[in-house]
Amino acid sequence: MAIFSKLLTKTDIGTRLSVPTKSLESLPCFGRGHAIDFHVQDAQSGEVWNFRCVIRKKSHPKPALCKNWRKFVSSKRLSVGDKIIFSTLAEDQARTGGAQYKIEVKRQTKIFGVSLKSRGGVYLSSSLICLFILSVMFIFVSGLSMDMISS
């Protein structure tokens, strides 16, 4: 079951992953502390990562993943606009590393350096992307044919 999903920001890529506060109830209990370590399984590779979630000691908790987060970002070559889905891992899927959670990466689709997503942040389907590419190719080839006819 998904706990949260998020389009990554510059801060998420460079420093720490800001976690929605409402997701705290689905994470391990902090007790009286302000930091908790837990295992998260990479949905694609199966590798288990040990992340630390920290909260502020006073006022609004504002949770964030910090320990090993930047290593994860580097290893997956994540960039601003990529999406992560953080969810619970079913008991029958848990690996030896003791992971209770999994993280899935959805890469931002770009064509000619332009991000292809709708206004709502939902990525376009691969069939729409193929249609776009074919349209561009058709226009390019048509232009070449017209140039050849007129010369």
Q: pLDDT for 76-123, tens place per residue? A: 998 898 898 888 877 555 555 566 888 888 887 666 665 655 444 445
Kindly give, in sequence order, each residue whose CB lies less than 8 Å from that of residue 130, ignoring residues fewer than 6 positions away. Answer: none
* Residue 48 β-bridge partners: 41
Confidence category of residue 37, pLDDT binned at 50, 70, 90: confident
Which pLDDT does position 15 carry in this prediction? 87
Residue range 51-65: average pLDDT? 78
pTM for the whole structure: 0.66
pLDDT at 71: 92
Q: How many CA atoms lie within 13 A of 30 on its CB side?
A: 17
The secondary structure element, H or E, covering residue 38 is strand 35-42
What does each C-alpha distance from 97 to 76, 100, 138 come to in angstroms?
19, 9, 51
* Cα–Cα separations (whole angstroms), residue 103 to 3, 42, 62, 67, 79: 10, 5, 20, 15, 16
d(C-alpha 91, C-alpha 3), whole Å:
16
For the chain, domains (ranges, CATH) are: 2-108 (2.40.330.10), 109-151 (no CATH)
Which pLDDT score is estimated for 124? Answer: 54
